[in-house]
Amino acid sequence: MVIRGGEKREPTLFQALLPLIFLIFFLFLNVHLFKDTLAGSNQMALILAAAIAGVVAYTTGVRWKEMEASIIKSISSAMPAILILFLIGALAGTWMLSGVVPLLIYYGLEILNPKIFLFAAITISALVSLATGSSWSTIATIGIALMGIGRTLGIHDGLVAGAIISGAYFGDKMSPLSDTTNLAPAMAGTDLFTHIRYMTITTVPSILLAMLAFLVIGFTLHYPVDHTDVQEVMTALRETFRLSPFLLIVPVLLIYIIIRRVPAVPALLAGILLGVVFALIFQPQAVRMVAHTGGSYAKAAWIASMQAMFGPVNIPTSSPLVTRLLATKGMSGMLNTIWLILAAMVFGGMMESGHFLIRISKSILKVVHNTVSLVASTVFTCIFFNVTASDQYISIVVPGRMFAKTYRRKGYKPELLSRTLEDAGTVTSVLIPWNTGGATQATVLGVPTLTYLPYSFFNLISPFMSIFIAAINYKIRRFKPEELQEEKEIPVK
């Protein structure tokens, strides 16, 4: 059938699902055939799936100009995440060179008992994220230090990353400073603090179960690293860096800046510059090692500062483990992740241009009959958008708009919708390898998404807790008939 320019029709459900089916098939092949799927194979899978979506969209009357505009809009929505990614790469480099991360690792090894380390990791991450409102900043700072401690203790990378991510996303979800915590009630039509209070019903049990799981695992794990190995690491850190408590000023100032609600980009830039200044003051030996120059200190300072921000940094120590632990890649280490995000945004934009995502969502709405099916449909729709649109904000905004009238029509107060959006949209983005959340945290922590996914207990429990609370009908808020009647009687100006 030939479609004339401008003549459009709604895609069938099969047409809407076809690009997604191909994407899943391509990704399945990549996981089995490539060791490093982040290095290009998954990016190509997304681009090929986007091409298939474009062909299908064309058959429904969508023209290239519309597809192109949708792709550009999709990529534009990811630009803040891309800028933050670049800055996180530079932050990791300067904080390593300055001795901030080595100091945190040193203190952690000195204080933390291996058996309670995982419990401490989730707790510390939760508190910092709650204070800052940012899971990304928490993982890029405290998270990197905790990963270093976990590796030194010989704990599986997936377990350590899972504990960090669970705690960080709890704080991100519950903090009034978090962007997603403000976005969800805005989409649903409720206020911030009503939303936060109502979230405690599902979020507190989820984080307590996750903490209990890490506590039990901690006491049952076998630790292959003995006390001598830990002492060797601590000695290597002392020999290589000047581990002064004054270095703690850097993370404390950054946390203060974030709490003051300074936007992420300038806040992270301030953290980078603080790292550079403290590196030049406290670590002249490390600066010269990174600069590989015997000239003036000013020359070495410039070379080492630039290198820490943009490229790989390897600081040799007396311990091979510590040398590997302290290696960073700077901004350049983020390029594969940014490539993945761009490819994901191309796919999401192409799916949006063909109205495939809305078509699939409309089919989901047809199965809504009661509280459980409504909440479950919202949960799976949020996860679906995290998988297909590759962005946690889209997974909150689009389902929020889609379901708002349905919740109200069925008599449910908007905080039920806003809570469900966070229970599913916010916390599952980090579990999808090609989502901005999953791609970023895998790169920052140096742990593949599928490695930490089984241990991100809070993120896995939250969507099911949302459905469970709905199933037992616990504190499901509904409008009283007179409230809905009053609303109808308000005159329209």
Q: How confident is the model over 86-132, as pLDDT tens digits?
A: 888 898 889 999 999 889 888 888 887 888 999 999 999 998 888 77
More confident residue, 76 or 487: 76
Residue 493, pLDDT score: 39
Whether 365 shows a pLDDT value over 80: the answer reads no
Mean pLDDT of 348-374: 85
- Please name the amino acid found at residue 466: S
Per-residue pLDDT reduced to its tens digit, 415-455 = 999 999 999 999 999 999 988 889 889 999 999 999 999 99
Quickly state the pLDDT bin for 228 (edges 50, 70, 90).
low
Residue 490, pLDDT score: 45
Tokens of 431: 């579990």
- Please answer whether residues 164 and 446 qualify as being in contact, where contact means their C-beta atoms are separated by less than 8 angstroms: no
Whether 208 shows a pLDDT value over 90: the answer reads yes
Tokens of 403: 């379901």
Whether 5 shows a pLDDT value over 70: the answer reads no
SS (H, E, C) the chain: CCCCCCCCCCCCHHHHHHHHHHHHHHHHHHHHHCCCHHHCHHHHHHHHHHHHHHHHHHHCCCCHHHHHHHHHHHHHHHHHHHHHHHHHHHHHHHHHHHCHHHHHHHHHHHHCCHHHHHHHHHHHHHHHHHHHCCHHHHHHHHHHHHHHHHHHCCCCHHHHHHHHHHHHHHHHHHCCCCHHHHHHHHHHCCCHHHHHHHHHHHHHHHHHHHHHHHHHHHHHCCCCCCHHHHHHHHHHHHHHCCCCHHHHHHHHHHHHHHHCCCCHHHHHHHHHHHHHHHHHHHCHHHHHHHHCCCCCHHHHHHHHHHHHHHCCECCCCCCHHHHHHCCECCHHHHHHHHHHHHHHHHHHHHHHHCCHHHHHHHHHHCCCCCHHHHHHHHHHHHHHHHHHCCCHHHHHHHHHHHHHHHHHHCCECHHHHHHHHHHHHHHHHHHCCCCHHHHHHHHHHCCCHHHHHHHCHHHHHHHHHHHHHHHCCCCCCECCHHHHHHHHHCCCC
Lowest model confidence (mean pLDDT) among 56-65, 129-138, 278-287, 379-388: 129-138
Mean pLDDT of 378-402: 84
Whether 297 shows a pLDDT value over 90: the answer reads yes
Whether 491 shows a pLDDT value over 60: the answer reads no
Share of the chain above pLDDT 70, in %: 94
Question: What is the overall mean pLDDT for the chain?
Answer: 87
Residue 482, pLDDT score: 67
